[in-house]
Amino acid sequence: MKSSSGKRTGRGAPAIAARRALGDSTARQHTPNRDGVKVLTVANLSRLPWLVHGFSTRQGGVSSAYGGGALNLGPTREDTPENVERNRQRFVRKLGALDAKGRPWPLITVSQIHSATIHRVDQPAVSPLKGDGLITSEPGVLLGIKIADCLPVLVVDPERRAIGAFHAGWRGTARRIVQKGIGEMRKHFGTDPAKLLAAIGPGVGSCCYEIGDEVEREFESQFAYWQDLFEDVFDSQTLHARYPLLFLNQRPPGHGDPALSRHLNLVKANLLQLRDAGLAEANISSLGLCTSCRTDLFFSYRKEQVTGRMMAVLGIRP
């Protein structure tokens, strides 16, 4: 909604909950191993001894692209399949996802299409799956979501020992992929949403996620709280593009349209979906790290255009 001054305002509890999740103090980091591989984790999932989870960074890989020494975990034009496979092996070993003979667990991924399509995994898939979500109760496999700005959302059922991993870009978020994924976990595993734990990984923050009118219209058509998901941010580049001679002709301040750009808060959008699906606020954690701001640590397609891919993974120990 708007105040009398025309400034958009929040809506109480949902907005407060989202702000809390943005600065989750339970997030922590693994120190790099001898290869320099760094993995990020969250405390609420780390407390489960039977669970493996982690969010990769760009550091500690064998890829010469993207600045060298990059842990690129997704197929790209600039990298080779051999490098990607070696990087994935390093990442999985860093997580400790190994069988009794020291072999890495199978890593299950999907060909991501910005959809709300979710697959149940009972065994390693022979052919590539198309979609943006994976759920399983099968031990000894890793569910992997590739990321380079879109949010990864990991969901865990501690009672049923079932897990879900979801790729939530703006399209998937608008299609309620996280809510649908929790519904699929209820259907297949008998999950009680009130008992679920969730972690939102690194992705582009509202600080950097400028969007167009079509994105806002999509959310407006789907969510009663859509206004809570957007904010106007001052943008000096927009001001310069609109008034290139502003300081030359000393145009008086306050004249003309303000240099504001519209930004989307994906973290808040997915936090509210988790809450609406039945999760307790205390059971939701967020790393609160922006991939576009932190290209020293993450790949960011929005910031770099030519870049690698990170991964968020989740697995059940046998």
Taking only the tens place, the pLDDT of each residue in 131-147 is 999 999 999 999 999 99
Tokens of 37: 């591989």
The tokens 């990442």 sit on which residue? 91
Tokens of 2: 């708007």
Tokens of 271: 């936090």
Question: Is residue 1 a contact partner of residue 215, using CB atoms and an 8 Å limit?
Answer: no
DSSP 8-state assignment for residue 105: P
Number of Cβ within a 10 Å radius of residue 118:
23
Q: Provide φ and ψ at 226, rounded to 5°.
A: -55, -35
End-to-end CA separation in angstroms for the chain: 50
What contacts 208, CB < 8 A, 6 or more positions away?
A: 263, 290, 292, 293, 302, 303
Q: What is the pLDDT of residue 239?
A: 44
For the chain, what is the total number of helices (H) and then of strands (E)? 9, 18
Q: Provide φ and ψ at 106, rounded to 5°.
A: -60, 135
Q: What is the pLDDT of residue 64?
A: 96
Distance between CA atoms of residues 202 and 156, nearest Å? 18
Q: What is the pLDDT of residue 22?
A: 43
The tens-digit pLDDT sequence of the chain (318 residues) is 333 333 343 444 433 334 444 444 345 554 455 578 999 999 999 999 999 999 999 999 999 999 999 999 999 999 999 999 999 999 999 999 999 999 999 999 999 999 999 999 987 666 678 999 999 999 999 999 999 999 999 999 999 999 999 999 999 999 999 999 999 999 999 999 999 999 999 999 999 999 999 999 999 999 999 999 999 987 655 444 444 554 444 445 555 555 689 999 999 999 999 999 999 999 999 999 999 999 999 999 999 999 999 999 999 999
Cα angle, residue 145 at apex, residues 140 and 146 outer, rounded to 5°: 130
Q: What is the pLDDT of residue 25?
A: 39
Q: What is the pLDDT of residue 253?
A: 52
Instruction: Count Cα neighbours of 199 within 13 Å in the Cβ-side half-sphere.
Output: 28
Length of the chain: 318
The tokens 């009680």 sit on which residue? 192
Burial of 236 (0-12, 13-18, 19+ CB in 10 A): exposed
Q: Map out the domains of the chain as residue ranges.
A: 17-209+265-316
**Judging by DSSP bridges, how do beta strands 162-168 and 151-157 pair with one another?**
antiparallel
Q: Which of 32, 120, 124, 112 is nearest to 312 (CA)?
A: 112
What contacts 16, CB < 8 A, 6 or more positions away?
A: 10
Q: Which of 56, 28, 30, 57 is nearest to 44 (CA)?
A: 28
DSSP 8-state assignment for residue 79: S
Q: What is the pLDDT of residue 131?
A: 97
What contacts 182, CB < 8 A, 6 or more positions away?
A: 155, 164, 191, 193, 196, 274, 277, 278, 279
Q: What is the pLDDT of residue 260?
A: 81
Superfamily name and number for 17-209+265-316: CNF1/YfiH-like putative cysteine hydrolases (3.60.140.10)
Tokens of 286: 């967020």
